Amino acid sequence: MELVATAILGVLIFKDTLDRNTWIGVILTIIAGIATSLGEGSSGIISALLIMAACISWAVDNHLTALTDGASPQSVTFLKGIVAGSVNLLIGCLIASEPLKFGSVGPALMVGIFSYGFSIMLYVTSAQNLGATRGQILFSTAPLWGVVFSTCFTMNRFNGFMLFHSPFGTGRYRNIPVEA
């Protein structure tokens, strides 16, 4: 749904133009989001609305990030990582049932650098070169690549369920069952 919010904000506010195929992708993403939350009752509707609110926030962030062509992707990523990491650390410390173990800080930083840091740096580069909406379209293929790489590296069998859900992004919101 982040793609949907980014595309709609892009067209309405940031003067993006989208072709027919891009609109088809946006519509398929909406259908996937609705299909994911159907059958969950009122909790599914509330969850979908909260996710949409988050996605609108991310869409604003995507467009503002794309406008930072004066700064290097590394600088933008570093600043975003420091701010987001500090806020997440504070929230974690406030809601944790146990105090922070300082021995876990280094490994957590390494995971953040290699998972969040590199992916966001690549996204910022893409957004600065292609624009926020087109960059987000590429970034939203992550569930498909996650299935491909997890299938290759974990030697799990690929199944039709994965094939159907990955291109539509629903793997982000649900655990995809994997046959062992």
Q: Residue 168: how many CB atoms within 10 A of its CB?
A: 19
28: helix, strand or coil: helix
Q: How many domains does the chain have?
A: 1
Length reported for the chain = 180
State the pLDDT at residue 59. Answer: 92
> Does residue 7 lie within any of the structural domains?
yes
Contact predicate 64/11, CB 8 Å: no
Among positive and negative, which fits the CA dihedral 173, 93, 95, 90? negative
Contact 143, 135 (CB under 8 A): no
Examine residue 101 and state whether it is found in any structural domain, yes or no. yes
Structure token pair of residue 34: 């609705």
Give a yes or no: residue 162 inside a domain.
no
Domain assignment present for 97: yes
DSSP state of 156: P
Tell me, yes or no, whether 80 lies in a domain.
yes
Q: Decide: 74 and 17 in contact? Cβ < 8 Å.
A: no
- Per-residue model confidence as pLDDT tens for the chain (180 residues): 888 999 999 999 988 888 898 888 889 888 887 777 777 777 777 888 898 999 999 999 989 988 887 889 889 888 988 888 889 888 988 998 888 888 888 888 888 888 888 888 888 888 888 888 888 888 888 777 877 787 788 776 666 665 555 555 444 434 434 443
User: Residue 175 domain-assigned?
Assistant: no
Range of the structural domain that residue 130 is part of: 2-140
- Is 147 inside any structural domain? no
